Amino acid sequence: MEIDLNGQVAVVTGGSRGLGKEMVKAFARCGADVVIASRKLDACRELAEEVQRDTGRRALPVACHVGRWGDLEALTDAVYSEFGRADILVNNAGMAPLYPSLDTVTEALFDKVVDVNLKGPFRLCAVMGARMAAAGRGSIINISSIGAEHPQVNDVPYAAAKAGLHTLTIGFAVALGPAVRVNTIAVGPFLTDISKAWDVDGFEAHARTHYALGRLGKPEEIVGTVLYLASDMSSFTTGTAITVDGGVTKASPFPVE
């Protein structure tokens, strides 16, 4: 079954690389115009040019720091000024800085993690979600992590913020319904830019013997779930979380070095 998003506008934060980049390209392939938002405007512009060249869809690059509410309001204004609508919002931007031990986590680091992973998505759901609701339709997808329910010692602030994002999803599903659906995707280990900080060989060796699918995820494998939640195929789905982790959380504890 083909998903037709012609006439729709999809906004993706953290959209210039990794999972966000794959989402942007998938939305465009399905006919949507796209808004690519991240802190690095050059990367957004590069992807926008690729999208326009390969799909013919309009693509708007926007510089945006998700942890700053002023940037989110400017992003919303830019979307509606350019397109007059937003039908799909993916709160994908996130950060999970490493630290040697919990007692070394500074207040500044903790605040930064919460700002990007929780405070920013709250504000964008509120501001852009209100406009979606007024227009009578929309789908918001929050990208979370299996860490929200399975925190590791080296990602506690991140996991706590993502757990808050699950609660935020439920709250906005109620607040913005019935016009706007709000859901979460809890992702597991994908081989994106962030995996450069991992012991990938060790992780993959562990995966082969401990994970249901025996491997880590490829970035493009997020696309099916995102398109399902963005489209009318999920018209009776809201306030829920879908786990996309290759069976990691059904297996033994995993290393996150």
Q: Which residues form the catalytic set?
A: 145, 158, 162
**Whether the bond into 178 is cis, omega within 30 of 0:** yes
d(C-alpha 249, C-alpha 232), whole Å: 29
CB 93 within 8 A of CB 14: yes
Tokens of 104: 């070394």
CB 198 within 8 A of CB 256: yes
Q: Which residue has the tokens 């599903």?
A: 173
d(C-alpha 26, C-alpha 55), whole Å: 10
In angstroms, the first-to-last Cα distance of the chain is 40
Read off the DSSP letter of residue 190: B
Half-sphere exposure of 226 (CA within 13 A, CB side): 29
Q: How many CB atoms sit inside 10 A of residue 195's CB?
A: 16
d(C-alpha 142, C-alpha 57), whole Å: 24
Which SS3 state, helix, strand or coil, does residue 32 take? coil
- 158's enclosing H/E stretch is helix 156-176
Of 126, 142, 133, nearest to 75 by C-alpha is 126
